[in-house]
Amino acid sequence: MTKAQAAKIERLTRKNDPDATKENILKIATEEFVAAGFSGARVDEIAERTKTSKRMIYYYFGSKEGLYLAVLEQAYTKIRTLESELDLENMPPVQAMAQLIASTFDHDDQNPDFVRLVSIENIHRAEHMKRSVVLSQMNIAVIDIITDILERGYADGSFVRRVDPVDLHMMISAQCFFRVSNRHTFGAIFERDLSSEALKKRHKSLIVDAILAFLRHPSFEMI
């Protein structure tokens, strides 16, 4: 098969399967934004790597910012979907909370690109994210999940400390996020390989135990 014939087949495939084309663009765009940030990533480079065109990318996503938001939305959709599929509502509250924390830990550990994208958006002070209705609505789901677990835990006495669900979500995210976002600097300073399986297992247990202990112990205001 000649290069011209191969190129023709690729063009026909893209035309007949736009969903696959969009998915491939998102995959490559994710790699570009992770590597170069929003400002440094180039749509021309994404078009070249996906064998599409800048015009086609703008047709699907509207603009560079539209493509970047689509990448962010896909990344957040992955973790929110994962949480919704854990069947937490049918677990006892302590088990459900432990499973949610462990799942967050595993997701962040296995998806460093997600951590990098969130860090990049924080550099931009969430100016892009604030324009996404999808992201603002999507992330309400995890707060509903945490609220349900907490209320069931208060009802059966498993949890004692009253805590705002958003604050608890921040605690869980912070603990799991930090060891990925700072693994290189933290590892260099303390000569620890945070990617080692032994450390990952220990850290996961530490984070789950610490947050469950926090919920089971009254606050200083209650003592």
**Three-state SS annotation for the chain:** CCHHHHHHHHHHHHHHCHHHHHHHHHHHHHHHHHHHHHHHCCHHHHHHHHCCCHHHHHHHHCCHHHHHHHHHHHHHHHHHHHHHCCCHHHCCHHHHHHHHHHHHHHHHHHCHHHHHHHHHHHHCCCCCHHHCHHHHHHCHHHHHHHHHHHHHHHHHCCCCCCCCHHHHHHHHHHHHHHHHHCHHHHHHHHCCCCCCHHHHHHHHHHHHHHHHHHHHCCCCCCC
Residue 190 contacts by C-beta under 8 Å, 6 or more apart in sequence? none
pLDDT band of residue 14 (cuts 50, 70, 90) is low
Distance from C-alpha of 218 to C-alpha of 159, rounded to nearest angstrom: 9
- Please report, rounded to a whole number, the percentage of residues in the chain having pLDDT higher than 90: 85
Question: In the predicted model, what is the mean pLDDT of residues 164-190?
Answer: 96
What does the pLDDT read at residue 101?
A: 98
Question: In the predicted model, what is the mean pLDDT of residues 149-177?
Answer: 97
The mean predicted confidence, pLDDT, of the chain is 91
Residue 49 contacts by C-beta under 8 Å, 6 or more apart in sequence? 28, 32
What does the pLDDT read at residue 137?
A: 87
- On the question of pLDDT at 105 being above 60, the answer is yes
Min mean pLDDT across 127-141, 166-180, 198-212 is at: 127-141
- On the question of pLDDT at 19 being above 50, the answer is yes
What does the pLDDT read at residue 192?
A: 93
- On the question of pLDDT at 10 being above 80, the answer is no
What does the pLDDT read at residue 15?
A: 57
What does the pLDDT read at residue 214?
A: 96
- On the question of pLDDT at 157 being above 50, the answer is yes
Q: Which residue's entry shows tokens 């590892």?
A: 187
**Amino acid making up residue 133:** V
- Please report, rounded to a whole number, the percentage of residues in the chain having pLDDT higher than 70: 91
- On the question of pLDDT at 98 being above 80, the answer is yes
Which of these, 146, 176, 141, lies nearest to 159 by C-alpha position?
146
- Angle, CA 214 vertex, CA 100 and CA 162 arms, to 5°: 90
pLDDT band of residue 9 (cuts 50, 70, 90) is very low
What does the pLDDT read at residue 46?
A: 96
Q: What is the pTM of this model?
A: 0.87
